[in-house]
Protein backbone atom coordinates (compact mmCIF):
# COMPACT_ATOMS: atom_id res chain seq x y z
CA UNK A 1 0.00 0.00 0.00
CA UNK A 2 2.79 2.43 0.90
CA UNK A 3 4.64 1.76 -2.37
CA UNK A 4 1.46 2.26 -4.39
CA UNK A 5 0.72 5.56 -2.64
CA UNK A 6 4.27 6.81 -3.17
CA UNK A 7 4.12 5.87 -6.84
CA UNK A 8 0.80 7.68 -7.23
CA UNK A 9 2.24 10.84 -5.65
CA UNK A 10 5.27 10.69 -7.94
CA UNK A 11 3.04 10.20 -11.00
CA UNK A 12 0.91 13.16 -9.97
CA UNK A 13 3.96 15.37 -9.53
CA UNK A 14 5.33 14.27 -12.91
CA UNK A 15 2.01 15.01 -14.60
CA UNK A 16 1.86 18.42 -12.94
CA UNK A 17 5.38 19.24 -14.13
CA UNK A 18 4.51 18.06 -17.63
CA UNK A 19 1.40 20.24 -17.78
CA UNK A 20 3.31 23.25 -16.49
CA UNK A 21 6.04 22.68 -19.07
CA UNK A 22 3.46 22.37 -21.87
CA UNK A 23 1.74 25.55 -20.71
CA UNK A 24 5.02 27.47 -20.57
CA UNK A 25 6.15 26.10 -23.93
CA UNK A 26 2.85 27.06 -25.54
CA UNK A 27 3.15 30.62 -24.24
CA UNK A 28 6.87 31.03 -24.95
CA UNK A 29 7.23 29.38 -28.36
CA UNK A 30 5.93 32.43 -30.34
CA UNK A 31 8.68 34.61 -28.83
CA UNK A 32 11.45 32.01 -29.28
CA UNK A 33 11.81 32.67 -33.00
CA UNK A 34 11.46 36.43 -32.53
CA UNK A 35 14.28 36.53 -29.97
CA UNK A 36 16.61 34.38 -32.08
CA UNK A 37 15.97 36.39 -35.23
CA UNK A 38 16.49 39.68 -33.41
CA UNK A 39 19.81 38.53 -31.87
CA UNK A 40 21.35 36.54 -34.73
CA UNK A 41 20.44 38.82 -37.64
CA UNK A 42 22.73 41.79 -36.76
CA UNK A 43 25.52 39.38 -35.86
CA UNK A 44 25.52 37.75 -39.31
CA UNK A 45 24.88 40.62 -41.71
CA UNK A 46 25.02 44.39 -41.30
CA UNK A 47 21.79 46.10 -40.32
CA UNK A 48 21.02 49.78 -40.57
CA UNK A 49 18.42 52.09 -39.13
CA UNK A 50 16.08 51.43 -42.06
CA UNK A 51 16.19 47.69 -41.25
CA UNK A 52 15.27 48.30 -37.63
CA UNK A 53 12.56 50.80 -38.53
CA UNK A 54 10.87 48.02 -40.51
CA UNK A 55 11.80 44.96 -38.47
CA UNK A 56 11.33 46.43 -34.99
CA UNK A 57 7.60 47.20 -35.36
CA UNK A 58 7.07 43.80 -37.01
CA UNK A 59 8.72 42.01 -34.07
CA UNK A 60 6.72 44.04 -31.57
CA UNK A 61 3.52 43.54 -33.53
CA UNK A 62 4.03 39.77 -33.80
CA UNK A 63 4.78 39.50 -30.07
CA UNK A 64 1.72 41.57 -29.18
CA UNK A 65 -0.46 39.54 -31.55
CA UNK A 66 0.60 36.24 -29.94
CA UNK A 67 0.28 37.63 -26.42
CA UNK A 68 -3.21 39.00 -27.06
CA UNK A 69 -4.58 35.81 -28.53
CA UNK A 70 -2.85 33.18 -26.35
CA UNK A 71 -3.11 34.76 -22.89
CA UNK A 72 -5.64 32.86 -20.74
CA UNK A 73 -8.98 34.44 -19.93
CA UNK A 74 -10.58 32.25 -17.21
CA UNK A 75 -13.75 34.33 -17.09
CA UNK A 76 -14.46 33.54 -20.74
CA UNK A 77 -13.73 29.82 -20.60
CA UNK A 78 -17.31 28.77 -21.29
CA UNK A 79 -17.48 29.86 -24.97
CA UNK A 80 -14.20 28.06 -25.61
CA UNK A 81 -15.53 24.92 -24.04
CA UNK A 82 -18.68 25.20 -26.11
CA UNK A 83 -16.61 24.75 -29.25
CA UNK A 84 -14.46 22.00 -27.76
CA UNK A 85 -16.67 19.27 -29.16
CA UNK A 86 -16.24 20.51 -32.72
CA UNK A 87 -12.48 20.85 -32.30
CA UNK A 88 -11.81 17.23 -31.28
CA UNK A 89 -13.31 14.68 -28.92
CA UNK A 90 -10.41 14.92 -26.45
CA UNK A 91 -8.30 18.11 -26.30
CA UNK A 92 -4.63 17.77 -27.17
CA UNK A 93 -3.69 20.19 -24.40
CA UNK A 94 -6.01 21.29 -21.63
CA UNK A 95 -4.49 24.77 -21.78
CA UNK A 96 -6.06 25.27 -25.21
CA UNK A 97 -9.43 25.41 -23.47
CA UNK A 98 -8.42 28.14 -21.04
CA UNK A 99 -10.76 30.68 -22.62
CA UNK A 100 -8.06 32.44 -24.66
CA UNK A 101 -9.03 34.10 -27.93
CA UNK A 102 -6.80 31.69 -29.82
CA UNK A 103 -8.78 28.75 -28.46
CA UNK A 104 -11.95 30.27 -29.94
CA UNK A 105 -10.59 32.10 -32.99
CA UNK A 106 -7.68 29.93 -34.00
CA UNK A 107 -8.02 30.72 -37.69
CA UNK A 108 -7.70 34.47 -37.19
CA UNK A 109 -4.76 34.05 -34.84
CA UNK A 110 -2.84 31.69 -37.14
CA UNK A 111 -3.47 33.84 -40.22
CA UNK A 112 -2.05 36.90 -38.46
CA UNK A 113 0.90 34.90 -37.07
CA UNK A 114 1.84 33.63 -40.53
CA UNK A 115 1.53 37.13 -42.03
CA UNK A 116 3.88 38.60 -39.45
CA UNK A 117 6.23 35.66 -39.96
CA UNK A 118 6.26 36.16 -43.74
CA UNK A 119 7.34 39.82 -43.45
CA UNK A 120 9.95 38.98 -40.80
CA UNK A 121 11.44 36.08 -42.79
CA UNK A 122 11.66 38.32 -45.81
CA UNK A 123 13.55 40.85 -43.69
CA UNK A 124 15.85 38.20 -42.15
CA UNK A 125 15.85 34.42 -42.74
CA UNK A 126 16.74 33.87 -39.09
CA UNK A 127 13.17 34.70 -38.14
CA UNK A 128 12.36 31.33 -39.71
CA UNK A 129 12.76 29.86 -36.21
CA UNK A 130 9.24 31.14 -35.59
CA UNK A 131 8.05 28.15 -37.60
CA UNK A 132 8.11 26.24 -34.30
CA UNK A 133 5.22 28.42 -33.13
CA UNK A 134 3.45 27.82 -36.44
CA UNK A 135 3.71 24.03 -36.06
CA UNK A 136 2.63 23.91 -32.40
CA UNK A 137 -0.23 26.40 -32.63
CA UNK A 138 -1.57 25.05 -35.94
CA UNK A 139 -2.23 21.69 -34.25
CA UNK A 140 -3.33 23.23 -30.96
CA UNK A 141 -5.65 25.99 -32.11
CA UNK A 142 -7.04 24.95 -35.52
CA UNK A 143 -9.73 22.34 -36.10
CA UNK A 144 -11.03 20.10 -38.85
CA UNK A 145 -8.60 20.12 -41.81
CA UNK A 146 -7.16 23.57 -41.07
CA UNK A 147 -4.19 22.29 -39.01
CA UNK A 148 -2.74 20.91 -42.27
CA UNK A 149 -3.02 24.34 -43.88
CA UNK A 150 -1.28 25.94 -40.91
CA UNK A 151 1.51 23.33 -40.95
CA UNK A 152 2.08 23.73 -44.70
CA UNK A 153 2.11 27.53 -44.40
CA UNK A 154 4.66 27.39 -41.60
CA UNK A 155 6.75 24.87 -43.57
CA UNK A 156 6.76 27.13 -46.67
CA UNK A 157 8.06 30.09 -44.68
CA UNK A 158 10.63 27.90 -42.88
CA UNK A 159 11.83 26.54 -46.26
CA UNK A 160 12.05 30.05 -47.70
CA UNK A 161 14.19 31.05 -44.69
CA UNK A 162 16.40 27.99 -45.15
CA UNK A 163 17.05 29.03 -48.76
CA UNK A 164 18.24 32.44 -47.55
CA UNK A 165 15.08 34.49 -47.82
CA UNK A 166 15.54 37.85 -49.49
CA UNK A 167 19.32 37.42 -49.27
CA UNK A 168 19.07 34.68 -51.91
CA UNK A 169 16.41 35.65 -54.46
CA UNK A 170 14.26 32.82 -55.74
CA UNK A 171 14.60 31.57 -59.29
CA UNK A 172 12.57 29.03 -61.21
CA UNK A 173 15.13 26.34 -60.34
CA UNK A 174 15.01 27.23 -56.67
CA UNK A 175 11.23 26.88 -56.60
CA UNK A 176 11.66 23.11 -56.91
CA UNK A 177 14.00 23.13 -53.92
CA UNK A 178 11.47 25.25 -52.03
CA UNK A 179 8.75 22.70 -52.76
CA UNK A 180 10.97 19.81 -51.65
CA UNK A 181 12.02 21.58 -48.47
CA UNK A 182 8.38 22.43 -47.76
CA UNK A 183 7.42 18.76 -48.03
CA UNK A 184 10.28 17.70 -45.76
CA UNK A 185 9.58 20.43 -43.19
CA UNK A 186 5.87 19.61 -43.19
CA UNK A 187 6.52 15.93 -42.57
CA UNK A 188 9.35 16.33 -40.08
CA UNK A 189 8.36 19.45 -38.18
CA UNK A 190 4.64 18.79 -38.27
CA UNK A 191 5.08 15.09 -37.53
CA UNK A 192 7.29 15.60 -34.51
CA UNK A 193 5.01 18.33 -33.21
CA UNK A 194 1.91 16.19 -33.69
CA UNK A 195 3.37 13.14 -31.97
CA UNK A 196 4.73 15.27 -29.15
CA UNK A 197 1.31 16.73 -28.50
CA UNK A 198 -0.27 13.29 -28.77
CA UNK A 199 2.13 12.17 -26.04
CA UNK A 200 0.93 15.07 -23.90
CA UNK A 201 -2.65 14.06 -24.60
CA UNK A 202 -1.96 10.48 -23.59
CA UNK A 203 -0.29 11.68 -20.39
CA UNK A 204 -3.33 13.80 -19.62
CA UNK A 205 -5.64 10.85 -20.22
CA UNK A 206 -3.45 8.61 -18.07
CA UNK A 207 -3.50 11.21 -15.30
CA UNK A 208 -7.30 11.32 -15.38
CA UNK A 209 -7.52 7.52 -15.37
CA UNK A 210 -5.10 7.29 -12.43
CA UNK A 211 -7.11 9.93 -10.55
CA UNK A 212 -10.34 8.00 -11.20
CA UNK A 213 -8.72 4.73 -10.11
CA UNK A 214 -7.35 6.33 -6.95
CA UNK A 215 -10.80 7.67 -6.13
CA UNK A 216 -12.34 4.27 -6.78
CA UNK A 217 -9.69 2.60 -4.59
CA UNK A 218 -10.34 5.14 -1.84
CA UNK A 219 -14.08 4.45 -1.94
CA UNK A 220 -13.42 0.72 -2.01
CA UNK A 221 -11.09 1.00 0.97
CA UNK A 222 -13.71 2.95 2.91
CA UNK A 223 -16.35 0.36 2.01
CA UNK A 224 -14.11 -2.50 3.11
CA UNK A 225 -13.36 -0.73 6.39
CA UNK A 226 -17.08 -0.11 6.99
CA UNK A 227 -17.85 -3.74 6.15
CA UNK A 228 -15.17 -4.93 8.56
CA UNK A 229 -16.58 -2.74 11.33
CA UNK A 230 -20.12 -3.92 10.58
CA UNK A 231 -18.94 -7.51 10.61
CA UNK A 232 -17.21 -6.85 13.91
CA UNK A 233 -20.44 -5.45 15.34
CA UNK A 234 -22.37 -8.49 14.17
CA UNK A 235 -19.69 -10.71 15.66
CA UNK A 236 -19.99 -8.84 18.95
CA UNK A 237 -23.75 -9.28 18.96
CA UNK A 238 -23.31 -12.96 18.11
CA UNK A 239 -20.75 -13.23 20.91
CA UNK A 240 -23.16 -11.68 23.39
CA UNK A 241 -25.85 -14.10 22.28
CA UNK A 242 -23.33 -16.92 22.56
CA UNK A 243 -22.45 -15.83 26.10
CA UNK A 244 -26.11 -16.11 27.09
CA UNK A 245 -26.35 -19.53 25.43
CA UNK A 246 -23.15 -20.63 27.16
CA UNK A 247 -24.46 -19.48 30.52
CA UNK A 248 -27.68 -21.41 30.00
CA UNK A 249 -25.74 -24.47 28.84
CA UNK A 250 -23.39 -24.37 31.82
CA UNK A 251 -26.36 -23.94 34.15
CA UNK A 252 -28.02 -27.02 32.65
CA UNK A 253 -24.82 -29.05 32.77
CA UNK A 254 -24.06 -28.06 36.37
CA UNK A 255 -27.61 -28.93 37.35
CA UNK A 256 -27.72 -32.20 35.39
CA UNK A 257 -24.20 -33.46 36.10
CA UNK A 258 -22.11 -31.77 38.80
CA UNK A 259 -24.99 -30.82 41.10
CA UNK A 260 -26.59 -34.22 40.82
CA UNK A 261 -23.21 -35.89 41.31
CA UNK A 262 -22.57 -33.87 44.46
CA UNK A 263 -26.03 -34.78 45.70
CA UNK A 264 -25.17 -38.43 45.14
CA UNK A 265 -21.87 -38.01 46.97
CA UNK A 266 -23.64 -36.48 49.97
CA UNK A 267 -26.24 -39.23 49.94
CA UNK A 268 -23.61 -41.98 49.80
CA UNK A 269 -21.54 -40.40 52.58
CA UNK A 270 -24.61 -40.07 54.79
CA UNK A 271 -25.45 -43.70 54.10
CA UNK A 272 -21.87 -44.70 54.95
CA UNK A 273 -22.13 -42.83 58.26
CA UNK A 274 -25.31 -44.70 59.10
CA UNK A 275 -23.70 -48.08 58.33
CA UNK A 276 -21.15 -48.15 61.14
CA UNK A 277 -22.26 -51.66 62.12
CA UNK A 278 -21.71 -53.08 58.62
CA UNK A 279 -18.14 -52.43 57.38
CA UNK A 280 -18.79 -53.97 53.95
CA UNK A 281 -21.85 -51.78 53.32
CA UNK A 282 -20.01 -48.75 54.61
CA UNK A 283 -17.11 -49.45 52.21
CA UNK A 284 -19.50 -49.80 49.26
CA UNK A 285 -21.10 -46.43 50.05
CA UNK A 286 -17.67 -44.78 50.35
CA UNK A 287 -16.49 -46.34 47.05
CA UNK A 288 -19.67 -45.15 45.35
CA UNK A 289 -19.17 -41.64 46.73
CA UNK A 290 -15.58 -41.64 45.42
CA UNK A 291 -16.76 -42.78 42.00
CA UNK A 292 -19.40 -40.06 41.87
CA UNK A 293 -16.82 -37.46 42.96
CA UNK A 294 -14.43 -38.50 40.19
CA UNK A 295 -17.23 -38.29 37.62
CA UNK A 296 -18.15 -34.83 38.88
CA UNK A 297 -14.52 -33.75 38.69
CA UNK A 298 -14.33 -34.95 35.08
CA UNK A 299 -17.50 -33.05 34.22
CA UNK A 300 -16.14 -29.92 35.90
CA UNK A 301 -12.92 -30.15 33.93
CA UNK A 302 -14.82 -30.62 30.68
CA UNK A 303 -16.94 -27.54 31.40
CA UNK A 304 -13.86 -25.48 32.19
CA UNK A 305 -12.23 -26.56 28.92
CA UNK A 306 -15.21 -25.18 27.03
CA UNK A 307 -14.47 -21.68 28.29
CA UNK A 308 -12.08 -19.19 26.62
CA UNK A 309 -8.46 -20.43 26.69
CA UNK A 310 -6.09 -18.53 28.93
CA UNK A 311 -2.96 -18.89 26.71
CA UNK A 312 -4.49 -16.62 24.02
CA UNK A 313 -4.58 -13.66 26.40
CA UNK A 314 -0.85 -12.94 26.26
CA UNK A 315 0.36 -14.79 23.12
CA UNK A 316 -0.30 -14.96 19.41
CA UNK A 317 -2.46 -17.70 17.97
CA UNK A 318 0.36 -19.40 15.94
CA UNK A 319 2.59 -19.54 19.02
CA UNK A 320 -0.20 -20.96 21.20
CA UNK A 321 -1.05 -23.60 18.59
CA UNK A 322 2.62 -24.59 18.31
CA UNK A 323 2.98 -24.93 22.09
CA UNK A 324 -0.27 -26.87 22.41
CA UNK A 325 0.68 -29.21 19.58
CA UNK A 326 4.15 -29.81 21.09
CA UNK A 327 2.66 -30.62 24.49
CA UNK A 328 0.07 -32.96 22.95
CA UNK A 329 2.72 -34.69 20.81
CA UNK A 330 4.84 -35.39 23.86
CA UNK A 331 1.89 -36.95 25.67
CA UNK A 332 0.36 -38.82 22.72
CA UNK A 333 3.63 -40.02 21.19
CA UNK A 334 2.61 -38.72 17.73
CA UNK A 335 4.79 -36.52 15.52
CA UNK A 336 3.15 -33.12 14.89
CA UNK A 337 4.25 -30.83 12.06
CA UNK A 338 3.07 -27.24 12.61
CA UNK A 339 3.27 -24.64 9.84
CA UNK A 340 2.03 -21.04 9.59
CA UNK A 341 1.81 -19.18 6.28
CA UNK A 342 0.67 -15.72 5.23
CA UNK A 343 0.70 -12.36 6.97
CA UNK A 344 0.16 -13.15 10.65
CA UNK A 345 -2.03 -10.53 12.34
CA UNK A 346 -4.26 -10.36 15.45
CA UNK A 347 -7.87 -11.37 14.85
CA UNK A 348 -11.04 -10.85 16.81
CA UNK A 349 -10.74 -12.87 20.05
CA UNK A 350 -13.79 -14.99 19.19
CA UNK A 351 -12.17 -16.04 15.92
CA UNK A 352 -8.90 -17.04 17.56
CA UNK A 353 -10.72 -18.93 20.32
CA UNK A 354 -12.76 -20.85 17.73
CA UNK A 355 -9.63 -21.88 15.80
CA UNK A 356 -7.77 -22.81 18.97
CA UNK A 357 -10.63 -25.00 20.23
CA UNK A 358 -10.94 -26.72 16.85
CA UNK A 359 -7.20 -27.51 16.91
CA UNK A 360 -7.45 -28.82 20.48
CA UNK A 361 -10.42 -31.06 19.76
CA UNK A 362 -8.97 -32.28 16.46
CA UNK A 363 -5.75 -33.33 18.19
CA UNK A 364 -7.74 -35.00 20.97
CA UNK A 365 -9.74 -36.97 18.40
CA UNK A 366 -6.54 -38.06 16.67
CA UNK A 367 -5.14 -39.33 19.97
CA UNK A 368 -8.35 -41.19 20.83
CA UNK A 369 -9.41 -42.69 17.52
CA UNK A 370 -6.95 -42.26 14.64
CA UNK A 371 -3.95 -44.35 15.66
CA UNK A 372 -1.84 -41.99 13.52
CA UNK A 373 1.92 -41.67 13.34
CA UNK A 374 1.94 -38.10 11.98
CA UNK A 375 -0.27 -35.04 12.24
CA UNK A 376 0.06 -31.90 10.09
CA UNK A 377 -1.37 -28.69 11.54
CA UNK A 378 -1.38 -25.71 9.15
CA UNK A 379 -2.58 -22.17 9.90
CA UNK A 380 -2.96 -20.02 6.77
CA UNK A 381 -3.57 -16.25 6.84
CA UNK A 382 -5.14 -15.04 3.60
CA UNK A 383 -6.55 -11.69 2.52
CA UNK A 384 -10.09 -12.24 3.82
CA UNK A 385 -9.99 -15.71 5.38
CA UNK A 386 -7.89 -17.53 7.96
CA UNK A 387 -7.82 -21.32 7.54
CA UNK A 388 -6.86 -24.04 10.00
CA UNK A 389 -6.17 -27.52 8.61
CA UNK A 390 -5.46 -30.55 10.79
CA UNK A 391 -4.57 -33.70 8.83
CA UNK A 392 -3.41 -37.12 10.03
CA UNK A 393 -2.31 -40.40 8.46
CA UNK A 394 -4.41 -42.55 10.78
CA UNK A 395 -7.15 -45.11 10.29
CA UNK A 396 -9.75 -42.67 8.99
CA UNK A 397 -13.51 -43.24 9.03
CA UNK A 398 -16.69 -42.71 7.08
CA UNK A 399 -18.05 -39.25 8.03
CA UNK A 400 -21.56 -40.22 6.90
CA UNK A 401 -21.60 -43.13 9.34
CA UNK A 402 -20.78 -41.01 12.42
CA UNK A 403 -23.94 -40.57 14.56
CA UNK A 404 -24.91 -37.11 15.72
CA UNK A 405 -24.11 -36.67 19.43
CA UNK A 406 -26.93 -36.22 21.87
CA UNK A 407 -27.21 -33.12 24.03
CA UNK A 408 -24.57 -33.03 26.72
CA UNK A 409 -22.65 -35.99 25.31
CA UNK A 410 -19.36 -34.07 24.95
CA UNK A 411 -17.28 -32.22 22.42
CA UNK A 412 -16.75 -33.74 18.98
CA UNK A 413 -17.05 -32.94 15.27
CA UNK A 414 -20.54 -31.45 15.70
CA UNK A 415 -19.36 -29.12 18.45
CA UNK A 416 -16.35 -27.99 16.39
CA UNK A 417 -18.68 -27.21 13.51
CA UNK A 418 -21.01 -25.26 15.81
CA UNK A 419 -18.08 -23.21 17.13
CA UNK A 420 -16.92 -22.30 13.63
CA UNK A 421 -20.38 -21.51 12.29
CA UNK A 422 -21.06 -19.30 15.32
CA UNK A 423 -18.32 -16.95 14.06
CA UNK A 424 -19.61 -17.03 10.42
CA UNK A 425 -17.02 -19.59 9.34
CA UNK A 426 -17.10 -22.89 7.47
CA UNK A 427 -16.13 -26.33 8.74
CA UNK A 428 -15.41 -29.43 6.65
CA UNK A 429 -14.25 -32.98 7.38
CA UNK A 430 -12.68 -35.24 4.76
CA UNK A 431 -11.92 -38.83 5.63
CA UNK A 432 -12.17 -42.39 4.41
CA UNK A 433 -11.33 -45.70 6.05
CA UNK A 434 -7.59 -46.29 5.86
CA UNK A 435 -6.84 -42.87 4.33
CA UNK A 436 -6.55 -40.61 7.37
CA UNK A 437 -8.65 -37.56 8.25
CA UNK A 438 -8.49 -33.88 7.33
CA UNK A 439 -10.35 -31.26 9.36
CA UNK A 440 -10.57 -27.73 7.96
CA UNK A 441 -11.97 -24.60 9.60
CA UNK A 442 -12.18 -21.27 7.75
CA UNK A 443 -13.12 -18.04 9.56
CA UNK A 444 -13.31 -14.46 8.28
CA UNK A 445 -10.05 -12.54 8.72
CA UNK A 446 -11.49 -9.67 10.76
CA UNK A 447 -8.64 -7.78 12.43
CA UNK A 448 -8.77 -7.05 16.13
CA UNK A 449 -8.60 -3.32 15.30
CA UNK A 450 -12.05 -3.57 13.69
CA UNK A 451 -13.52 -4.44 17.08
CA UNK A 452 -11.83 -1.42 18.63
CA UNK A 453 -13.27 0.86 15.93
CA UNK A 454 -16.69 -0.69 16.39
CA UNK A 455 -16.47 -0.16 20.15
CA UNK A 456 -15.46 3.47 19.60
CA UNK A 457 -18.44 4.01 17.31
CA UNK A 458 -20.71 2.31 19.80
CA UNK A 459 -19.51 4.58 22.61
CA UNK A 460 -20.09 7.59 20.37
CA UNK A 461 -23.58 6.33 19.54
CA UNK A 462 -24.26 5.78 23.23
CA UNK A 463 -23.39 9.40 23.97
CA UNK A 464 -25.26 10.91 21.02
CA UNK A 465 -28.36 8.68 20.87
CA UNK A 466 -29.26 8.72 24.60
CA UNK A 467 -32.81 10.05 24.97
CA UNK A 468 -32.41 10.98 28.66
CA UNK A 469 -34.80 8.31 30.00
CA UNK A 470 -32.25 5.68 30.93
CA UNK A 471 -32.69 3.97 27.56
CA UNK A 472 -29.70 3.86 25.24
CA UNK A 473 -29.89 2.65 21.65
CA UNK A 474 -26.75 0.94 20.33
CA UNK A 475 -27.09 -0.07 16.70
CA UNK A 476 -29.87 -2.66 16.61
CA UNK A 477 -29.54 -3.60 20.29
CA UNK A 478 -31.58 -1.63 22.82
CA UNK A 479 -31.04 -1.82 26.56
CA UNK A 480 -33.13 -0.18 29.23
CA UNK A 481 -32.33 -0.12 32.91
CA UNK A 482 -30.44 -3.38 33.50
CA UNK A 483 -29.71 -5.94 30.77
CA UNK A 484 -29.74 -9.27 32.55
CA UNK A 485 -32.02 -11.17 30.19
CA UNK A 486 -31.38 -14.87 30.34
CA UNK A 487 -29.12 -14.67 33.38
CA UNK A 488 -31.72 -15.12 36.09
Last residue of a domain, one of 184, 204, 220: 220
Same domain, 72 and 170: yes
Same domain, 33 and 149: yes
Residue-by-residue DSSP string for 23-68? HHHHHHHHHHHHHHHHHHHHHHS---HHHHHHHHHHHHHHHHHHHH
CA distances from 425 to 12, 379, 420 (A): 42, 15, 5
Residue 61, in any domain of the structure: yes
Same domain, 324 and 427: yes
Residue 241, in any domain of the structure: no
* pLDDT tens per residue, range 27-54: 788 888 889 888 998 888 888 888 899 8
Beta-strand ranges (E) seen in 190-315 are none
**Helix, strand, coil tally for the chain in percent (to 5):** 70, 10, 20
| Domain residue limits at 354 | 310-446
- pLDDT for the residue 139: 76
Residue 194, in any domain of the structure: yes
Please identify every stretch of the chain with a pLDDT value under 70, giving residue numbers as ranges. 1-25, 73-103, 172-173, 193-197, 199-200, 203, 235, 238-239, 241-243, 245-246, 248-250, 252-257, 260, 299, 301-314, 402-411, 450-488
Last residue of a domain, one of 180, 203, 220: 220
CATH number at residue 336: 3.30.565.10
* pLDDT tens per residue, range 273-327: 887 778 888 888 888 888 888 877 776 766 665 555 656 666 788 888 898 888 8
Same domain, 211 and 330: no
* pTM score, whole prediction: 0.40
Residue 267, in any domain of the structure: no
- pLDDT for the residue 407: 41
Same domain, 321 and 189: no
Same domain, 7 and 139: yes
Q: How many domains does the chain have?
A: 2
Same domain, 197 and 329: no
Residue 334, in any domain of the structure: yes
116 near 59, Cβ under 8 Å? no
Residue 114, in any domain of the structure: yes
Instruction: Give the three-class secondary structure for 431.
Output: strand
Same domain, 317 and 213: no
Last residue of a domain, one of 162, 190, 220: 220
- pLDDT for the residue 330: 81
Residue 377, in any domain of the structure: yes
Residue 14, in any domain of the structure: yes
- pLDDT for the residue 395: 84
Same domain, 48 and 176: yes
Say how far apart CA 2 and CA 25 lie, in whole Å.
34
Amino acid sequence: MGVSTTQTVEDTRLDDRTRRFDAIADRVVPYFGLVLGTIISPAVFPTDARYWLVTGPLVAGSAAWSWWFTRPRPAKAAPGMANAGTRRATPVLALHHDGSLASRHGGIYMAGLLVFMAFLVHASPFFGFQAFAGYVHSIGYLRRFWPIAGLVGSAVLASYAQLGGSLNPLTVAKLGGLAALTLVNSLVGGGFTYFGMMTSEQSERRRRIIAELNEANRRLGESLAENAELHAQLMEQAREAGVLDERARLAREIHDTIAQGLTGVVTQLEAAGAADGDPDLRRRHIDKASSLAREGLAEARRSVQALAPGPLVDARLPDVLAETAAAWAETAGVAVHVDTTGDVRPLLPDLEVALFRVAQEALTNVGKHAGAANVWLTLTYMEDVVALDVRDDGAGFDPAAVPRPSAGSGYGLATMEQRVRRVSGTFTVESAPGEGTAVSANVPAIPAAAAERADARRMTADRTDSDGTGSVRTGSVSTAGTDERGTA
